[in-house]
Amino acid sequence: MASEVRGVVALAKGEPVSLVTIVVPDPGPGEAVVTVQACGVCHTDLHYREGGINDEFPFLLGHEAAGVVEAVGPGVTSVEPGDFVVLNWRAVCGECRSCRRGRPWYCFATHNATQKMTLQDGTPLSPALGIGAFADKTLVAAGQCTKVDPAARPEAVGLLGCGVMAGLGSAMLTGEVGLGDSVAVFGCGGVGCAAIAGAVLAGASTVIAVDLDPGKLELARQFGATDVVDASSEDVVASVQALTDGNGADVCIEAVGNPKVMEQAFYARDLAGTLVQVGVPTPDMRIDLPMIEFFGRGGQLRPSWYGDCLPSRDFPMLVDLYLQGRLDLDRFVSETIGLDDVEEAFHRMERGEVLRSVVVV
Strands annotated E in 11-128: 18-24, 31-40, 59-60, 64-72, 84-87, 118-119, 126-127
Give the DSSP H or E segment for 166.
Answer: helix 163-169
Q: 220: closest CA among 186, 169, 261? A: 186
Answer whether 202's CB lies under 8 Å from 251's CB: no
Q: What is the pLDDT of residue 52?
A: 86
Q: For every one of its 361 residues, what pLDDT tens digit does the chain have, with 9 covering 90 and above? A: 899 999 999 999 999 999 999 999 999 999 999 999 999 999 999 999 999 889 999 999 999 999 999 999 999 999 999 999 999 998 999 999 999 999 999 999 999 999 999 999 999 999 999 999 999 999 999 999 999 999 999 999 999 999 999 999 999 999 999 999 999 999 999 999 999 999 999 999 999 999 999 999 999 999 999 999 999 999 999 999 999 999 999 999 999 999 999 999 999 999 999 999 999 888 889 999 999 999 999 999 999 999 999 999 999 999 999 999 999 999 999 999 999 999 999 999 999 899 999 999 9
Residue-level pLDDT at 292 = 96
Q: pLDDT at position 26, please? A: 98
Distance CA 358, CA 230 (A): 28
Reported residue count of the chain is: 361
Q: From 164, 165, 174, select the one nearest 251 (Cα to Cα).
A: 174
Residue range 166-304 in CATH 3.90.920.20: no
Q: What is the pLDDT of residue 1?
A: 81
Sign of the C-alpha dihedral computed for residues 128, 134, 139 and 141 taken in this order: positive
Sketch the domain layout of the chain as residue ranges: 3-161+328-360, 166-304
Start-end of H helices in 247-332 = 259-267, 291-297, 311-323
| Fold entry, domain 3-161+328-360 | Quinone Oxidoreductase; Chain A, domain 1 (3.90.180)
